[in-house]
């Protein structure tokens, strides 16, 4: 399988804090991947490393097999929409399309214009005066007009209302499905992306917790309910992701490596959302009672 994005032990540090650490993951071609994690988990850092805005402090990142930092030849194959969909607010949509044509060798202005016309974006109004949803669509149209092989979107729907979110994602999927573009889009809410993605990467406190196709991940996890569990191994369980206990009963979320036939446990399938929440809750939060001067 062709890998579009590969990272190995990737790390990025700001001062003494690691924004991303020991991140190793693969994204095969043609996937629509959701990059999920709470705010500050390192999602933007990962995307900025992937698009070459940042240079890694540790490990490597490769896009189509090449390092993206200061590499303009790779830039031509990446469409990127940064967080808050920055565009020159005093430019009109038409001018932004013209700008793209001047800055890119491969540029499909017709595609951008057709898209913007279909969406009813006013061509000559400064984009700063458009609604957030319309501006996001303009930014997406600019990214798509590069005819990229990889599309990276950083929280593209964060500022949109639920209706605009759905429209945005629908129009995005419509465009990438035909071209077979690989997409990596981030959000702190899985619910935004669940409908459209077939691959998930979960980041929490600067580390990658989970990465893989949605089907494999869901198949590979089960929820077990049974008598209070004291830590002894269960056949078929590779790892206990999360456990909660009452006096008599334990509920475990586990990663499986075989079928679980132990009659003591009732086995339930899990939804992707439960799973991701479990992994996020597992990511230990860094407490700083000392900095706040309160007792732990």
Partner 1 sequence: MIWLTWRQHRKQALFTAIGLAVLAALIIPTGLAMRGTFDRLGLTDCVAKLGTAQLSQTPIGAGTCDAAFREFNGQYRVFGMIGVLFLFLPLVVGLFWGAPLVAREIEQGTHRLVWTQGISRRHWALVKFGMVGAATLVASALYGFGVSWWMTPLSQAGQLTRFDVFYFDMQGLAPIGYTLFAVALGVFAGTVWPKVLPAMAATLAGFVGVRVALTTLARPNYLPAETLTYPVQGAIVQPNTALGDWVLSHGVRDAAGKLVAANAEIMCPPNATGPGASCGADMGVGAGSYNWQLFQPGSRFWAFQGIETGIFLVLVVLLAYFAVRRIRRIS
CA-to-CA separations, 181 to 9, 28, 110, 118, in angstroms, rounded: 26, 11, 18, 21
Nearest approach in angstroms of CB 119 to partner 1 is: 19
87 binds partner 1 (CB under 8 A): yes
Site string for partner 1, 19-48 (x = CB under 8 A): -----------------------------x
58 binds partner 1 (CB under 8 A): no
Angle at 34 between CA 274 and CA 32, to 5 degrees: 125
Q: Which two tokens stand for residue 259?
A: 């079928």
DSSP element (H, E) containing 102: helix 93-103
Burial class (CB in 10 A: 0-12, 13-18, 19+), 291: exposed
Asked whether the beta carbons of 82 and 135 are under 8 A apart, the reply is no
Site string for partner 1, 114-143 (x = CB under 8 A): -------------------------x--x-
89 binds partner 1 (CB under 8 A): yes
205 binds partner 1 (CB under 8 A): no
Interatomic CA distance for residues 52 and 61, integer angstroms = 9
Q: Which two tokens stand for residue 131?
A: 């609604």
88 binds partner 1 (CB under 8 A): yes
67 binds partner 1 (CB under 8 A): no
Nearest approach in angstroms of CB 219 to partner 1 is: 36
Calculate the dihedral angle through the C-alpha atoms of 27, 170, 101, 91, rounding to the nearest 10 degrees.
-120
Report the residue from 24, 104, 159, 250 that binds partner 1 according to the rule CB under 8 A.
Answer: 104
103 binds partner 1 (CB under 8 A): yes
Which of the ranges 88-96, 232-240, 246-254, 288-296 carries the binding residues for partner 1, by CB under 8 A? Answer: 88-96
Binding site for partner 1 (CB under 8 A): 48, 51-55, 70, 72, 75-76, 78, 80, 82-84, 86-89, 91, 95, 98-100, 102-106, 139, 142, 146
């Amino acid at each position: 399988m062709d890998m579009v994005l590969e990272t190995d032990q990737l790390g990025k540090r700001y001062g003494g804090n690691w924004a991303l650490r020991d991140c190793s993951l693969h994204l095969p071609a043609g996937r629509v991947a959701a990059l999920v994690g709470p705010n500050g988990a390192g999602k933007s850092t990962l995307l900025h490393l992937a698009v070459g805005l940042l240079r890694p402090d540790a490990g490597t990142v490769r896009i189509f097999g090449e390092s993206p930092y200061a590499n303009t030849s790779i830039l031509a194959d990446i469409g990127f929409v940064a967080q808050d969909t920055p565009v020159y607010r005093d430019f009109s949509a038409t001018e932004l399309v013209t700008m793209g044509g001047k800055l890119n060798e491969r540029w499909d202005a017709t595609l951008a214009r057709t898209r913007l016309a279909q969406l009813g974006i006013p061509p000559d109004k400064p984009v700063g005066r458009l609604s957030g949803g319309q501006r996001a669509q303009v930014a997406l149209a600019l990214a798509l007009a590069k005819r990229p092989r990889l599309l990276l979107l950083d929280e593209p729907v964060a500022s949109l209302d639920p209706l605009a979110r759905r429209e945005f994602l629908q129009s995005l999927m419509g465009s990438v499905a035909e071209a077979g573009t690989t997409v990596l889009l981030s959000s702190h809410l899985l619910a935004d992306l669940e409908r459209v993605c077939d691959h998930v990467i979960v980041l929490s406190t600067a580390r990658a917790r989970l990465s893989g196709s949605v089907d494999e991940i869901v198949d590979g996890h089960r929820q077990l309910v049974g008598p209070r569990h004291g830590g002894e191994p269960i056949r078929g369980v590779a790892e206990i992701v999360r456990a909660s206990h009452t006096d008599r009963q334990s509920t475990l979320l586990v990663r499986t490596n075989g079928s679980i036939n132990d009659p003591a446990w009732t086995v339930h399938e899990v939804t992707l959302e439960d799973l991701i929440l479990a992994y996020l809750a597992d990511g230990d939060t860094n407490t700083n009672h000392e900095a706040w001067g309160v007792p732990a």
